[in-house]
Amino acid sequence: MAGKIKITIDGKEIEASPGEKILWAALDNGIYIPHLCAGRDHHPPSASCRLCFVEIEGYPQPVTSCTQEVTGGMVISTRSERLDRIVGTGFEMIMTNHLTDCKACPKNRSCELQKIARERKFRLKPPRLPRLDRELPVDDSADGIKHDPNKCVLCGHCIRACREKGAGVLGFARRGFERVVTTFNGAPLGESGCNSCTACTLVCPVGALTLKV
């Protein structure tokens, strides 16, 4: 096809558009790479979840596929002992900080964490690292929206969606394991200027922002 370049991922030759990120080229060709924070329209990508690592022939270190552009003839691997170790450790770090009550969660069976665990044969409750239960208050003050920060994976999709809808009431606060998505001054969503458009619930990949049932 005109304007396309050829690359190889996991032994499969595919066509991609010049400048396209490896992650989207792979996913569009049925090759799964774990990802939480990437979005096709995110410029620049935040590359914060650290789950989308791949190896490229000739590159000394793995790279995040949501930030790395394809170039013609690139030979890419999504799986190796080293990659599985890096991605597995990243997943464990996320899960130590995630309230895992899948059976009671509205996102059960449509949760991106469950998909990653299934695809990579990771455990949702990793045995190696101690759990960090934060027991943050659940906010159901907004019409139609429930915010459970104990399930947030800090991907930032909700913050972007909220901004795009013009409300802009969500943002990150604090650092490290204390980091949360919250409103200005930590006000309840219902008192924050949230107009209950529910765009945040559509993009949340886990059960942190969900429609009230």
Residues within the interface to ligand FES (CB under 6 A): 35-38, 47-52, 64, 66
In the complex, minimum distance from the CB of residue 24 to ligand FES, in angstroms, rounded to a whole number: 11
- Please report, for residues 3, 14, 151, 171, 209, the alpha-carbon distance to residue 148 in angstroms, rounded to integers and kept in the order given: 45, 40, 6, 15, 6
Q: Which of 193, 152, 197 is nearest to 172 (CA)?
A: 152
Buried/exposed 196-208: b ≥16 CB within 10 Å, e otherwise: eebbbbebbbbbb
**Closer by beta carbon to ligand FES, 172 or else 184:** 172
Count Cβ atoms below 10 Å from residue 19 Cβ, excluding itself.
9
Shortest distance, CB of residue 213 to ligand FES, whole angstroms?
29
Put residue 111 in one of left, alpha, beta given phi > 0 → left and psi -120 to 50 → alpha: beta
Closest CB to ligand FES among 156 and 207? 156
Q: Min. distance of Cβ 129 from ligand FES in angstroms? A: 19
- Residue position matching structure tokens 């069976």: 109
Which CB atom, from 169 or from 181, has the smaller least distance to ligand FES?
A: 181
| 44/130 with CB nearer ligand FES | 44
Closer by beta carbon to ligand FES, 5 or else 153? 153
The least CB distance from residue 47 to ligand FES, in Å, is 4
Q: How far is the CB of 210 from ligand FES (least distance, A)?
A: 21
Of all helices (H) and strands (E), which one includes residue 183? strand 180-183
